[in-house]
Amino acid sequence: MINVVLVDDQELVRTGLRALAERDGDITVVGEAANGRSGLSRVRELHPDVVLMDIRMPEMDGLTATRAIVADTALRDVRVLVLTTFDEDEHVFEAIHSGAAGYLLKDVSPAELRQAIRLVAHGEALLSPAVTRTVLSRIAARPETVLDDTPLQSLSEREREVLLEVGRGLSNEEIARKLFLSPSTSRTYVSRLLAKLDARDRSQLVILAYESGLITPGD
């Protein structure tokens, strides 16, 4: 069973998310909160597997709460999935830098939402492919972006190939199919990349892929 805490300032939204998340029986919502401050308290109290976190909330916004969760060593295995109606570049980029394991827009289908929760809970998820390919590519295209491939110099050619596909938003299974690897080998490569690049999760690998110039705008 995957335990989830919902953090959103709209009660109606929380009610809907609870119903959608729990539909298949393998996910249960163990707590709710209406702002980042109370959400942080609930997460520390309940220690869920996944937090569904809104961004714009009173008292404490979702990005601040996410940073607090990520910085708390007692919550090291708690994964934050940002779920919001806002798709502006700066929100996505800041969410990733805050340590969020994933970022989804609220227009995802119920099935996609449940699958994202499952993937995040198992350390597999990152961003929706649409967000990865469009929003982050626009960020990489900004004139002030400084590309630096220094972190990638220790990688083998195959590791670079895997990182490229991670940056494009592919799951481990999709990477395995595209690069003709077994699923277990694909997972091993991703784990090796996390260790070599000192990345907390896959979302940070996405950032590295863009900031290093491995993926270029329109790729």
Place of tokens 């708390």: 72
User: What is the pTM (predicted TM-score) of this model?
Assistant: 0.74
Regarding predicted confidence, which is higher, 101 or 40?
40
Task: Please give the pLDDT value at position 136.
Answer: 58
- With cut-offs at 50, 70 and 90, classify the pLDDT of residue 143: low
DSSP 98: T
| Helix (H), strand (E) at residue 102 | strand 102-105
53 phi and psi, to 5 degrees?
A: -120, 120
pLDDT of residue 40: 96
Higher pLDDT, 160 or 101: 160
pLDDT category at 153 given cuts 50, 70, 90 is confident
| pLDDT band, very low/low/confident/very high, at 144 (cuts 50, 70, 90) | low
Confidence (pLDDT) at 91:
73
- Whether the CB-CB separation of 4 and 52 falls below 8 Å is answered with yes
b/e map of 188-200 (b: 16 or more CB within 10 Å)? ebbeebbeebebe
Q: What is the DSSP letter of 72?
A: -
Task: Please state, in angstroms and rounded to a whole number, the distance separating the CA atoms of residues 91 and 93.
Answer: 6
Q: Average pLDDT of the chain?
A: 85
Q: Higher-confidence residue: 7 or 83? A: 7
pLDDT tens per residue, range 49-85 = 999 999 999 999 999 999 999 999 999 899 999 988 7
- Predicted confidence (pLDDT) per residue in 160-205, tens digit: 999 999 888 788 889 999 999 999 999 999 999 989 998 877 777 8
Write down the pLDDT at residue 219.
57
- Helix (H/G/I), strand (E/B), else coil: 134: helix
How far CA 12 is from CA of 8, 18, 61, 83, 191, in Å, comes to: 9, 10, 18, 15, 38
Which DSSP category does 55 fall into?
Answer: S
pLDDT for res 6: 97
* DSSP string over 147-172: ---GGGGG--HHHHHHHHHHHTT--H
* Tens digits of residue pLDDT in 17-46: 999 999 999 999 999 999 999 999 999 999
Contact 191, 163 (CB under 8 A): no
pLDDT(133) > 60: no
Residue ranges of domains in the chain, CATH in brackets = 2-125 (3.40.50.2300), 146-211 (1.10.10.10)
Task: Specify the range with the lowest mean pLDDT, choosing from 114-118, 190-194, 210-214.
Answer: 210-214
The helix/strand/coil state of 200 is: coil
